[in-house]
Amino acid sequence: MALLRPTTTLEAYEGMAAFAGDLHNHCAISYGHGSIEDAYRNAQLQLDFATVTGHANWHDMPEDPRAVADYHRQGFKRLREAWNHVQDVTESVHEEGKFVSFLSFEWHSMTYGDHCVYYRSARGPLAPAQSNSLEDLRESLQVIRRAGLPAMMLPHHIGYLKGSRGINWDTYTEELSPVIELVSMHGSGEDDRSPRPYLHTMGPRDVGSTSTFGLQAGHRFGFIGSTDHHSAHPGSYGYGRAMVWADELTREGIWDAITSRRTYCVTGDRIMLATALNGQPMGSVVRAEGSRTLDVSVKGGAALDYVEVVRNGEIIARERPAAAAVGAAFKGVVSFGVGWGEVGLQTDWDIDLEVIDGRINAVEPRLHGFDVVAPSEREPDEFVFSSWKQQDAQRVTVTTRTWGNPTVVTDATQRFALHLSGDASTKVIARINGREVVHSLGELLNGPKVGFLGGFISGAYVFERAEPHQTTDLEWSFTDQGTGSQEDWYYTRVKQHNDQYAWSSPIWVPHSRAKAR
């Protein structure tokens, strides 16, 4: 299958590709829904790497509300009992060059903020989860590392109030924590004005817990996204994914990219985002006196709204794709989506997408799982309900299921993006549950085409507007003089018109008089 794995022409990323993964999600191995086998089946539909995370311990858990404390303890016990099975399944799904898996668990803390612990393996001890402080957890992992098993611990949903499971920047160190989880289903922890506010029961985001606050305090860390999904669906579209620039799809390759901070986060689409400062990739510390050149390369999954550069917490430059005439040839993206209809009414979809007089260069599944976090009175019948196969360069088949959108602001549709080459006469055919719908790229360049399976409020489908590369791609280079402060840091934020985002990891430029770290 030609899963989208974009590359860039920036020399700093020569020989690398951008791989997509989810390093923080859950299922019924602790508290959550669906089996770990189902979780990895769903992960393999649309990701290059993943880990299925078990909730392991909460050393300073409040006893009130009692029901919350009880189901956490039950989840921790379940993970202890399943740990051997978790390791076996994690090992069984790993295949170098095709799909990479890691072993992980989650350590909760009111005092220090939650952290997910990772091993560069499918096997490792659960004992460090019993640590009663971040310092003890850190030391336990260092012992394991010295014994030959690489380990790391990454803060997640950082933006909550310190003391209420938000990050505690006073206790953060780069040791074992090269990146932080910037965005997930909890929202974006970038800053208090960032898109994707925190709406979970755990409260709003606090400015003192944001990534901007941590960077301004002098810490160095990269960015990833995760879903924190709880229903056996790593990579569930729209909540957050980790993108890494790696030279190979192996455990070592992905791990090296993370520890080197060659990472960026996306909310959903596999946006290609590459940044370089004086020829050095994201995550680097660069010595540069006076002016420095920042190069930005973006290939979006939809039309770009803007690309902007943040320096020391302030936006210093913004760019959009220049208006360019679309020639006779087309190279770009066509997204097809299904769903809608009455809430809770199941619709099964059998879809055959075919391109006539054109070519499918890559495919990009944008699939959702069940959005369930807390225990549910009614479990779904199954958690694996989507599949797809690229038959050849002209045809992809998809099966999936929808239940309507649970609220008017919650997207539970299933989507599939085709990265195509063709021209205005190229036809895209969708055979949907036995009926055939045909549109040319010329038609789709003028706007979406929609239809229904039946009458009013029945399941619906949409061919989104065809987006040529002139609207989705941007190459940008500019020079900045810096501020003369002890250290400048830069990162790039991308917004698409379909409300999907990307954030690059920062690049740091210390002043020549600043001490090297």
Range with the poorest average pLDDT among 19-23, 78-82, 322-326, 464-468: 322-326
Residue labelled with tokens 């006893």: 63
CB 375 within 8 A of CB 31: yes
CB 65 within 8 A of CB 116: no
pLDDT for the residue 280: 98
CB 337 within 8 A of CB 205: no
Separation between Cα atoms, residue 120 and residue 147, nearest integer Å: 13
Q: What is the mean pLDDT of residues 158-184?
A: 97
DSSP letter (8 states) at residue 89:
H
pLDDT digits (tens, 9 = 90+) for 214-243: 999 999 999 999 999 999 999 999 999 999
Q: How far apart are the first and last CA of the chain?
A: 43
Greater pLDDT, 67 or 355: 355
Instruction: Kindly list the structural domains of the chain, giving each domain's residue range(s) and its CATH number in brackets, ordered by start.
Output: 16-268 (3.20.20.140), 329-470 (2.60.40)
Measure Cα distances from 387 to 101, 108, 240, 365 in Å.
20, 34, 21, 10
Strand ranges, E, within 407-510: 414-423, 427-432, 435-440, 449-452, 460-463, 467-468, 473-480, 487-496, 501-504, 507-510
Q: Indicate whether 39 pLDDT > 60.
A: yes
Q: Indicate whether 380 pLDDT > 80.
A: no
Is residue 400 helix, strand or coil? strand
pLDDT for the residue 248: 98
pLDDT digits (tens, 9 = 90+) for 279-327: 999 999 999 888 999 999 999 999 999 999 999 999 999 999 987 667 7
Range with the poorest average pLDDT among 319-328, 329-338, 354-363, 365-374: 319-328
Mean pLDDT, rounded, of the chain: 95
- Selection from 60, 48, 65, 38 nearest residue 1 by Cα: 48
Separation between Cα atoms, residue 284 and residue 508, nearest integer Å: 6
Residue labelled with tokens 């076996």: 88
pLDDT for the residue 418: 97
Interaxial angle between packed helices 36-46 and 66-92, expressed in degrees from 0 to 180 and rounded to the nearest 10: 60
The H-or-E segment that residue 306 falls in is strand 304-311
Q: What is the mean pLDDT of residues 56-72?
A: 94
Separation between Cα atoms, residue 402 and residue 367, nearest integer Å: 10
DSSP letter (8 states) at residue 333:
E
Q: Indicate whether 515 pLDDT > 80.
A: no
Q: Indicate whether 516 pLDDT > 60.
A: no
pLDDT digits (tens, 9 = 90+) for 470-502: 999 999 999 999 998 999 999 999 999 999 999
> What is the number of H-type helices and E-type strands within the chain?
7, 32
Q: What is the pTM of this model?
A: 0.96
Instruction: Please report the sign of the dihedral spanned by the C-alpha atoms of residue 476, residue 477, residue 483, residue 485.
Output: positive
pLDDT for the residue 513: 64
Separation between Cα atoms, residue 318 and residue 311, nearest integer Å: 12
Buried b vs exposed e over 407-444: b needs ≥16 C-beta within 10 Å?
eeeebbbbbbbbbbbbebebbbebebeeeeeebbbebb
CB 180 within 8 A of CB 224: yes
Q: What is the mean pLDDT of residues 102-109?
A: 98
DSSP letter (8 states) at residue 210:
S
Is residue 296 helix, strand or coil? strand
Separation between Cα atoms, residue 397 and residue 138, nearest integer Å: 47
pLDDT for the residue 517: 53
pLDDT digits (tens, 9 = 90+) for 402-453: 999 998 889 999 999 999 999 999 999 999 999 999 999 999 999 999 999 9
pLDDT for the residue 453: 94
Task: Report phi then psi at 55, rounded to 5.
Answer: -70, 125
Q: Indicate whether 144 pLDDT > 80.
A: yes
Q: What is the mean pLDDT of residues 7-23?
A: 98
Sheet with 387-392, side-by-side order of all strands: 387-392, 395-402, 347-356, 427-432, 435-440
Q: What is the mean pLDDT of residues 69-98?
A: 97
Which residues are within 8 A (CB) of 410 and not within 5 positions of it... i.e. 6 or more apart? Answer: 371
Separation between Cα atoms, residue 241 and residue 183, nearest integer Å: 8
HSE, side-chain direction, 13 A CA sphere, residue 74:
11
**What is the pLDDT confidence band of residue 373, given thresholds at 50, 70 and 90?**
low
CB 398 within 8 A of CB 387: yes
pLDDT for the residue 236: 97
Separation between Cα atoms, residue 139 and residue 396, nearest integer Å: 49
pLDDT for the residue 316: 97
